[in-house]
Amino acid sequence: MATRQGRTLLKVASLNTWHGLNGQGTFLFGQLETRAERIARLERQVECLKSINADLLLLQELNPLPFRAHWYAQKLGMRAEYVSCNTGIKLGWGPPGNLNEGLGILFPADWEHEYLGRKRLSGELRFNPFRISAINGPFLSFQLHESRVAFAMRFTLPTERCVPGYEGRRTLLVAVAHLHVSHAQTSRNETLVKQAAQEGHLSADDVALLRKRFRYANTRRLNEVDELASWLETLRLPDEPALLAGDFNCEPESPPYNVLSRRGWNDLWREAGNSEELLESATWDAPRNSLTERVKEFQHAGARNHPQIAEVLRQADALPRRIDFIFGQSAKINPAQKSFQLGASGYLLNTGRFGYLSGNQFSSASLVTDDFSEYKLRREFSGSSGDDSKFISDHFGVCAEFGLPSL
């Protein structure tokens, strides 16, 4: 990871916390971890987040709301705001009883802030009685299929968190999003489909169905990022710096990623000069993250009547990829500016991953947030009962620091 030494003024982190559900069931969804495993994993998450000590935490798959948002806030000594995303049918309580997930932003309790609301990105109300989605809150909802939303807030940075003598806006627009999850039409996935067809594992109809699924995923996420970017443009004040983070379920150079780039959102991983080599950058890595491996099976429930298709999708999920991002927009666009600057928070110092534990798994000193040296030696997860305790989620998180670089 490329780093710049300096005085940190602001640290931001994004993490898909993983709800651990398999998406199957009516009154309760099945779970991909035992209760004991989940409790231990959440405690590992908290210790890891404490060690990062970020000022702003942008979290996805908080479940169940509102309890989980306030649980993190209490554990971390922060304040939480949240919005619901996928809740099922709720009138106080309702099925699925263990699904009530959404997005959250955690921040210092004494920071001046403004709640800007949420934006539905997809999953709008439909008149087909089997495709109704009337969003939805943690206690009142009638939702029968997946929805995606974004959530935004505005913060006024305390004077001590600003560049001395900075005369521009002290406000910061912050948004978190979680886009539709499904396989995209990428060159790697297309190669898998062609190979399976050549080997006789897929019929012409199977290939056509797979490509249709890929095109749908691309189109849906394209529509989501278009809605997201347009909404944020209406919220952003003139010359106001902005951050956007979350699980985008798409890779660099994919159509949704390129839309955000064209609309002025800078990928801070690249702005910091980090490598795109997948062992260095992947935030979804089934070959080495044992929790990610667990998710592979439930991701393909929709293809259970097409086992050949499901197998290709499993192979696609086994490919590591970078799908979690922190994007930023500078206060002003200055072509001569060689380093990304976030307004009053100063320059981008570094961006890194977190969420892999090394050494003594029960010591906070063992937490590794930006040095994956032990992880890079792994070629696959060991499959032992202790291997899961190396990870805090099925995703790795991303964090970014801003401030004044040393001369």
- pLDDT tens figures, 215-272: 999 999 999 999 999 999 999 999 999 999 999 999 998 999 999 999 999 999 999 9
pLDDT recorded at residue 131:
44
- Number of Cβ within a 10 Å radius of residue 65: 23
Determine the pLDDT at residue 273: 93
Identify the pLDDT of residue 183: 83
Q: Spell out the long-range contacts of 26-33 with Cβ–Cβ below 8 A and sequence spacing 24 or more.
A: 26/95, 26/96, 27/95, 27/96, 27/97, 28/95, 28/96, 28/97, 28/98, 29/96, 29/98, 29/99, 30/298, 31/98, 32/294, 32/295, 32/298, 33/291, 33/294
What CA–CA distance (Å, rounded) separates 186 from 190?
Answer: 6
- 6-405 falls under which CATH superfamily? Endonuclease/exonuclease/phosphatase (3.60.10.10)
Please state, as a whole number, how many other Cβ atoms lie within 10 Å of the Cβ of residue 227.
18
Q: Report which secondary-structure segment, H or E, holds 10.
A: strand 6-16
Predicted local distance difference test score (pLDDT) of residue 367? 46
DSSP-derived 3-state class of residue 298: helix
Cα radius of gyration rounded to whole Å, the chain: 21
Instruction: Answer for the pair 197, 205: CB distance below 8 angstroms, yes or no.
Output: no
Residue in 11, 354, 325 with CA at minimum distance from that of residue 178 = 325
CB 345 within 8 A of CB 8: no
Task: Provide the residue ranges of all domains of the chain, joining segments of one domain with +.
Answer: 6-405
In the predicted model, residues of the chain with pLDDT beneath 50 are 1-2, 126-133, 360-370, 385
Residue 271, pLDDT score: 95
pLDDT of residue 162: 93
